[in-house]
Each structure stands twice: as structure tokens, then as C-alpha cells.
Amino acid sequence: MKKNLLFITYLFYSLVFVSQNNSKALEILLRNAGNDTNRCNLLFEIIEKETDEEIWPKYNDQILQIVEKNLADPNLSSKEKKVFLKYQSSCLNYKGYLAQQHGQIDEALEDFEKSCKSAQALGNMAAVAKVYNNIGSIYLYRGKVPLSIEYFTKSYDLSSSIGNKKGMATSLNNLGNIYDKLGNTQKALDNYHQSIRIRNDIKNTEGVATCLNNIGFIYQRQKEFEKALDYFQKSLNINLKNNNKNGIATALTNIGNIFMAQGDLVKAKVYFNKSLKICENLDDKLGLGRAYNSIGKVHQLSNDLKTALDYYNKGLNVLEQLENKDGVSSSLLNIGTVYFIQKDNAKALEYALRSLKLSQELGFPERISKSANLLYDIYKKQNNTADALLMHELYTNLQDSLDNIENRKISLKKEYQFEYEKKVTADSVKAVEEKKIVAVQLKQEKTQRYALYGGLLMIALFALFMVNRFRIIRNQKQLIEVKEKETQKQKDLVEEKQKEILASIRYAKRIQESLLPSEKYIDRNFKELKK
């Protein structure tokens, strides 16, 4: 018990010291932690609460060093092994996330796979499902869509089997992203709205913000800009409330893209630059790649083609480091477009073909369509009628599929369905709450009735007590009055007796006085004798 209290004290002060960047104080706390398990607990709590990527990764590495040292010990107990496997799985997953953010894709995949093995050895299926999602994201970056779908589906199935709602929601959102890029709008929206419902249930607001962004993309492509802006703004508001910097940067870029599509380039550039600054501070390479491409687009539309080309190339370099094939194909398409405007058809053709090749590898219709349209324009300028016709047919077929009215109907239907279900849920919750209120009111009324009856009973008992008391007092008073009368009667009798006695005394005195000679007679006789 004392050890636990001591560790809690260490943990409290460690968080205070970390917030003040007091590394020496933290080292003292770690030395006094008692054992490696407590040290891992302490460091892991710091990692969970610290968001600065300049701070938490070094503590993550410290945990991995402690874990590896202990797992190599043949005398390690099974209980201790489970503890260290848990930390190994979590910290490798964090390490993989950081590597992915910094464009170290091979290292990220290796860390995720190691994390998965540790979680499997531990039997922690929730952690396994989480890592499956991360591995799926890596494969999506690399354009291995079937593998990506496989891992996201495995993650969902595993999370569902153990009732892990957060894991289910994450997998559904990831699957929605893929189906959206594959042009399956209905399936994408199904997954997004299902993810939102789960995340609302578990109050996972950051996840809701991510889904709102993704739905906004669909409306943006369908040129429903007001609806898209509404979804992006809702996402931004949630991320601002949660201080989720990555989410804020993403939402800012998306809002900027809407203003750009509406022709407000000044406002668009303001949003892009805000996003770029956040991504630079976070060293978020994926966010940087997107921001560079968006800012490049603003300059392209402003006819500043040289600056546009610079930003597009910056975006391309970053996204190639990340091995993000979708982003790379987009950057290639942007660069090819600028060269075409500059009438450098040779370079335009080179970049357009590279974009088309990557887009076909990914199987993303929208990207293929845009690349084919650019190639059609290039071949047309080069008088290459055969290839121009081929690209035009490819573009037309895909564009018809992407822009068909049915997709728009599906979007609206899903939105109305979602809003209806949300209303029904809200009404149900309201009804339940009203029932609770009525029940409480009835209970209060019942309690008040009992209190009233009890009060009336007390008043009745008190009244009976007072009546009885009054009767007793009245009887006592009557008794006192009788006694007073008897006393007065006795007093009168005594006084009467006293009067009789006094009268007798006076009568005797008079008799006595009549028998005895008077003083004058005695005095006269005495004087005569003296003579």
C-alpha cells in the first residue's frame, strides 16, 4: 500500500515537472521509482498526456529500452512479461505512427508489425485491431488497395468480436475513404455515417470530426460547396474545441479549397497559409504535402505559374518521401497542368503519363479521369488524334460514372436518413428523459403526500396532547381551588376561635378587675396608714 502511494506521488510530481520541462527532477523521480515496472508506468503516463513531439518520443524510446532489457531476462515472471509486452506493443505502435508522419514508411511498417506480434503474444485483441488499421493505412499509401481493404476489414471484424466500438468506428471510416476513392459513393457514405453513429455513442468527438471532413469531400466533388463548407466548418469547430492541431490543419486546408473553388483566392490563401504553419510546427509531412499543393493551385489560378510550380514540386517531394501514391499522382497531375499552360507539351506529357500510371495502379476513378483529360488536351495539341480519342473516351466514361445523378441522390438520401435517425434517436432520448422527469416528479409528489400525511398526523397527535394537557391543568386548577376554599374555611374557623378566646380573656379580666380593689382605693388606704 505504501509503495502504491509513493508511486502515485511520484507520478503526480512527474507530470508537474514535465510540464515545466524539469528534466533533472524527472530523472530523480525515475531513479526513486523502485523498479522497472514503475518506471514504465511513470513514463507511459507522461507519453499519454504529452502532445509535444519534441518531448514524448524520447520517453517512448526509454520505455522500449527498459522493456527490451527485461524481456531478455530468462527469469522474468509471466506476470511481469505481460506488463512489458503491453508496453512494448503500445510504444512500438507510437513509434510507427511517428515514423509514418515523418515519411519513414518502411520503418513505420516494421514497427507496426512488431507491435502486432507483441499484442498477439499478450492476447490483447484490441491492440491487434488498432495495429491492423495502421498497417492498412501504410498499404493504402503505397497503393496496395486490396491489402489495405483486407487489413481494415480484419480490424473491424476483430473489434466487433470483442465489442471495441472505437476500433470499429476507425475501421469503418478507413474503409469509407477507400470506397470513396474507388468511386463507390454509396458504400463510402454508409461507412462514414455508421462510424459517426458509433462515435457519437462513445463521445469520440475527434473521430466524428474526421468523418465530417470525409463527407465534406464528397459534397465538394459534387460541387455542393455550401454543404461541403458546412461539414468542414463543423469538423474545424470540433478540432478547435479539442485542440487537435492535425485536425485543425486538415480542416483549414479543406475550407480553403472550397473558397478557391468558389473563386475567392485571397480567402483561400489565408486558410492554406494557416494550415501550412501548423503542419510546419508539427512536422506533419502529409499535411505539408497537401498544403503545398493547395497553395500552388492558388498561384496557378492567379497566373503566377512559376510560384505554382515551386509549390507543386515541394508537395511532390514530401509526398514521395511518404510513398503516398495518391498524393504523388495528384502532384504530378498539377505539375503537368502547369507545363501544359506554359506550352511545354513534352514535360506536360511526361508528368501526365506518370500521374495516369499511378492512378491506374491505385484504381481511383477520379484521379484517372483527371489525368486522362489532361492527356487528351496534350495529344490534341500534338495532333495525336488516336491517343487523344482514347483518352477522351476514358475521361468521358469515368466522368459520367463520377458525376451521375444517382450518386447525388445517394448522398442526399444518406444525409436525410442520417438526420432522420439522429432525430429519432434524439426524440427517443428526449422521451426517456421526459419519462425520467415524470417519474421523479411522481416520486416527489408521493414523498410530499407522505410528508403531508405525516405532518397532519403529528399535528393531530400534538392537538390530542394539548387537549389532554389542558384537561389535566384544568383538573389541577379545580383541585387547587377546592383546597384554597378549604384552607380559607379553616382560616376563617381559626380566626373565629381566636376571637372567642380573646373575648373569654377579656371577660375573665373584667371579672378579675371587679373582684380586686382598685389602684386608687389601695393608694388612698396606704396614705391613711402613713398618717
**Residue type for 353, please?**
L
pLDDT the model gives residue 16: 47
State mean pLDDT over 329-353.
95
Residue 253 pLDDT more than 90? yes
Q: Highest mean pLDDT range out of 57-61, 398-402, 440-444, 474-478?
A: 57-61
HEC sequence for 436-455:
HHHHHHHHHHHHHHHHHHHH
Dist. CA 363–CA 349, nearest whole Å? 20
**Segments making up each domain of the chain, as ranges:** 204-315, 324-403
Q: Is the pTM of this model over 0.85?
A: no
User: Using an 8 Å Cβ cutoff, are 320 and 294 in contact?
Assistant: no
Mean local confidence (pLDDT), 96-116: 87
Would you state the pLDDT for residue 457? 74
Cβ atoms of 341 and 297 within 8 Å: the answer is: no
Average pLDDT over every residue of 29-41: 75
Q: What letters, b where the CB count within 10 A reaches 16 and e where it falls short, cover 242-276?
A: eebbbbbbbbbbbbbbbbbeeeebeebbebbbbbb
Kindly report, residue by residue over 491-508, the tens digit of the pLDDT: 777 677 777 777 677 766
pLDDT at position 489:
74
Grid coordinates representing 129 are 485491431
Residue 427 has pLDDT above 50, yes or no: no
Supply the pLDDT for residue 39. Answer: 80
Burial 186-208, CB ≥16 within 10 A → b, else e? ebbbbbbbbbbbbbbeeebbebb
Please check whether residue 63 is in contact with residue 91, taking contact to mean a CB–CB distance below 8 angstroms. yes
Alpha carbons 142 and 368: distance in angstroms, whole number:
17
Q: How far is CA 39 from CA 8, 23, 63, 76, 93, in A?
A: 12, 15, 8, 16, 19
Q: Which residue has the cell 506533419?
A: 284
Q: Matching CATH topology for 204-315 and 324-403? A: yes
Residue range 370-393, pLDDT digits in tens: 999 999 999 999 999 999 899 988
Poorest-pLDDT segment among 209-213, 268-272, 484-488: 484-488
**DSSP codes, 36-47:** HHHHHHHHHHHH
pLDDT at res. 13: 46
pLDDT at position 44: 82
Q: Looking at the predicted structure, is the pLDDT value of residue 25 above 80?
A: no
Mean pLDDT, residues 396-414: 61
Say what the pLDDT of residue 102 is.
77
Please state the three-class secondary structure of 111-144 as a single string. HHHHHHHHHHHHCCHHHHHHHHHHHHHHHHHCCC
Tally of CB atoms within 10 A around 441: 10
Say if residues 210 and 196 touch (Cβ distance below 8 Å): no
**CB-CB contact of 110 with 104 (8 Å):** no
pLDDT the model gives residue 32: 65
Cα distance between residue 353 and residue 371, in whole Å: 8
Asked if pLDDT for residue 46 goes beyond 60, the answer is yes
Confidence of residue 58 (pLDDT cuts 50, 70, 90): confident
Note the residue count of the chain. 531
pLDDT at 28: 66
Q: Tell the residue number behind the cell numbers 457514405, with chain if given.
A: 189
Options 1.25.40.10, 3.40.50.150, 3.30.565.10, 3.40.50.1370; CATH for 324-403 is 1.25.40.10
Which residue did the predictor score with more confidence, 141 or 10?
A: 141
How many C-beta atoms lie closer than 10 Å to residue 212's C-beta? Answer: 23
CATH class of 204-315: mainly alpha
Higher pLDDT, 197 or 500: 197
Q: What is the dihedral of CA 84, 90, 91, 94, to 10 degrees?
A: 180
Numbers of helices and strands, H then E, in the chain:
22, 0
Can you give the pLDDT at residue 2? 43
Is residue 265 pLDDT above 80, yes or no? yes
More confident residue, 310 or 322: 310
> How confident is the model at residue 524, as a pLDDT?
67
pLDDT at position 410 over 60: no
% of the chain residues with pLDDT over 70:
73
* Gyration radius (Cα) of the chain, Å: 49
Q: Are 126 and 164 in contact (CB under 8 A)?
A: yes
Residue 196 has pLDDT above 50, yes or no: yes
The answer to whether 98 and 53 are in contact (CB under 8 A) is yes
Pick the residue with more confidence: 20 or 53?
Answer: 53
Share above pLDDT 90 across residues of the chain, in percent, rounded to a whole number: 45
pLDDT of residue 308: 96
Rounded-to-integer distance, Cα 6 and Cα 182, Å: 56
- pLDDT value of position 21: 47
164 secondary structure, DSSP code: -
Asked whether residue 420 carries a pLDDT value surpassing 50, the answer given is no
pLDDT digits (tens, 9 = 90+) for 446-489: 666 666 666 667 776 766 767 676 677 777 777 777 777 777 77
Mean predicted lDDT score pLDDT of the chain: 81
For 118-165, write each residue's pLDDT tens digit.
999 989 999 999 999 999 988 887 888 899 999 999 999 999 999 999
Backbone CA torsion sign across 216, 222, 225, 226 = negative
Q: Identify the pLDDT of residue 291.
A: 94
- Round to whole Å and give the CA distance between 172 and 154: 11
Nearest CA among 192, 132, 120 for reference residue 156: 132
Q: Give the burial string for 215-228 (b: 16+ CB within 10 Å, else e).
A: bbbbbbbbebbebb
What's the distance, CA 290 to chain centroid?
Answer: 27
